[in-house]
Chain A
Amino acid sequence: MQLHISTGDGSPIYLQIANQVKYLVASGRLAAGDEIPPIRVLARQLLVNPNTVARAYLELEREGVVQKRHGSGTYISDAASPLARKERLRIVSERVDALLAEARHLEVEPQELLRLIKERSLSIQPKENK
């Protein structure tokens, strides 16, 4: 499991870990039943406090992304796949929010932005169909 921690931005490290695990699930790089590393192992790999990793895992468990199996480890839960779509939408929503903020800053109206999105979508579609 490859995660990347950045201390330059203000986002708490436990949230960075939790969000990146969710991202890996949403993008299919982690599947239901996959084991994630024990807290101490990930703490040493990422060079972060073990309590921080524990907090991230607790958060993921609370949201149903992972589950602990009695004494044997932490696994991506079966319930994580319906969550995956929700998570994908959440990730995109964040980008949309950033885009809206920038548009507002540059005084581009949401209606105009919507038109722009449709237009761009049409123009890049052929490339994506390959």
Chain B
Amino acid sequence: MNPTDASPAVEITGLNRRFGATLALNQVSLQVRRGRVFGLVGANGAGKTTLIKHVLGRLKAQSGVVRVFGLDPVADPVAVLGRIGYLSENRDLPAWMRVDELLRYTAAFYPKWDMAYAEELRRQFGLAPRAKIRTLSRGENAKAGLLIALAYRPELLLLDEPSSGLDPVVRRDILEAIIRTVADEGRTVFFSSHLLEEVERVADDLAMMFNGRVVLAGALDDVKENHHRLVLRFDSPQPSAPKVPGVLSITGGGREWTAICNGKREEAVAAAARAGGRVVAEDSPSLDEIFVAWAGTKTE
């Protein structure tokens, strides 16, 4: 057995990256466990792609540690990249190749390439073998990129904004590929997205990034259980948003305000009561609403 078998698929500790005056990654730590789907969430420019480039070894850590299957992707690129199926955000495929040539060309790099599986995916994705990459639609291009990332059954599927700018039918194919990948035992998916709905559907774990920092990370179920939406009623109209400690965002007007809070429900209720607010309704916010609430705390 390989001594690194028990290690997480990806482990990042205290990673910093500076581009000129901009701190693109600020003390980022996260762990992608094997056999799980990990969603990396953040607005454009939050640092997601920079983080992924470190996982691929295309950027060297300025400080901090990046390990993929226990290995340093900069020191050992062949061993690391041979285990990752990667779909980049701009899907840089060679425009002059035909689809069948792309498959044969890519197959040459990977000893574990499964031509039967590649062919099955090609049919399923509706890609004509003799079509030139240049002539493919945006969705077909994404599917071609996904196909070559999947066809050697990598241990880690790494997708950077896989469904960005794509129509719902192609997004469905991509989600299905993610689900198929984890359903096959032991394989791991690490993907970035700004589509919270997709993350909520397929992720086991997630991290939210703002301005180069991970502000929230954990199992999706825990994240959802630890956020509450409370509708608060005050005895008198409030001229401005009431200050309630522990609340991420508060919107509304007059006597009624809606607060999104993080942590124990009872503590949030008690804090609201001290500020003069009574809970008249409550439920669970969606991941989208949780993200927006956190985003507000990072831009003010």
Residues of A within 8 A of B (CB): 5, 7-14, 40, 43-44, 47-51, 101, 105
Scoring B residues 275 to 298 as 1 if CB is less than 8 Å from chain A, else 0, what string do you get?
000001101111111000000000
B280 touches A47 (CB 8 A): no
Apart from A12-B224, A105-B280, list 10 A-B contacts with CB within 8 A: A7-B286, A7-B287, A9-B283, A10-B285, A10-B286, A12-B221, A13-B200, A14-B221, A47-B172, A49-B204
- The total of interchain contacts (Cβ-Cβ below 8 angstroms) comes to 59
Contacts of A47 in B (CB 8 A): 172, 175-176, 179, 201-202
Q: Pull 24 A–B residue pairs with CB atoms less than 8 Å apart, ordered by A.
A: A7-B197, A7-B200, A7-B201, A7-B286, A7-B287, A9-B283, A9-B284, A10-B229, A10-B283, A10-B284, A10-B286, A11-B284, A13-B200, A43-B179, A44-B179, A47-B176, A47-B179, A49-B37, A49-B202, A49-B203, A49-B204, A51-B182, A51-B204, A105-B280
Given the known interface contacts A10-B229, A12-B221, the answer about A48 and B179 at a Cβ–Cβ threshold of 8 Å is yes
B95 interface residue per 8 A CB criterion: no
**C-alpha gap A43/B179 in the complex (Å):** 7
Contact B283 A49 (CB under 8 A): no
Least Cβ distance of A29 to chain B in Å? 24
Across the A-B interface, the 9 shortest Cβ-Cβ residue pairs: A10-B284, A7-B197, A7-B200, A40-B183, A47-B175, A48-B201, A50-B183, A49-B202, A10-B285
Q: Could you give, for residues 180-220 of chain B, a 1 whenever the CB lies within 8 Å of some chain A CB and a 0 otherwise?
A: 10110000000000001100111110000000000000000
Interface 1/0 per residue, B160-176 and A, CB below 8 Å: 00000000000010011
A10 to B221, CA, bound (A): 11
Q: Roughly how many angstroms separate A51 CA and B188 CA in the complex, as a whole number? A: 13
Residue of B nearest to A50 (CB): B183
Q: Which residue of A lies closest to B35 (CB)?
A: A51
Question: What CA separation (Å) do A45 and B139 show in the bound complex?
Answer: 21
Chain A residue nearest to B182 (CB atoms) is A50
Bound-state CA distance A8–B179 (Å) is 20
CA distance A93 to B145 in the complex (A): 50
What class of interface size applies to chain B in its complex with A? 20 to 34
Q: Which residues of A contact B197 (CB under 8 A)?
A: 7-8
Q: For B182, list chain A residues within 8 Å (CB).
A: 49-51
Contacts of A14 in B (CB 8 A): 221
- Which A residues are CB-close (under 8 A) to B196? 7
Cβ of A94 to closest chain B Cβ, rounded Å: 12
Residues of A with C-beta under 8 A to B280: 105
Say yes or no: B281 contacts A50, CB within 8 Å.
Answer: no
Interface contact B200-A44, CB-CB below 8 Å: no
Rounded to whole angstroms, the CA-CA distance of A103 and B281 in the bound complex is: 13
Distance of A47 Cα from B183 Cα, bound (Å): 12
Interface centre among A7, A9, A12, A44 (most CB of B within 10 A): A7
Residues in A with CB closer than 8 Å to B221 are 12, 14
Q: Which residue of B lies closest to A8 (CB)?
A: B286
Provide the bound-state CA to CA distance between A14 and B221, in Å: 10
Q: Take A44-B179, A47-B176 as given contacts and tell me if A13 and B201 are in contact as well, using a CB distance cutoff of 8 Å.
A: yes
| Known contacts A7-B201, A13-B200, A49 near B229 by CB under 8 Å | no
A44-B183, A49-B182 known; A10 vs B224 contact (CB < 8 Å): yes
Chain B residue nearest to A105 (CB atoms) is: B280
What 1/0 mask marks residues of chain B from 244 to 268 whose CB sits below 8 Å from any chain A CB? Answer: 0000000000000000000000000
Rounded to whole Å, the gap between the CB of A26 and the closest CB of chain B is: 23
Q: Does the CB pair B286–A49 fall under 8 Å?
A: no
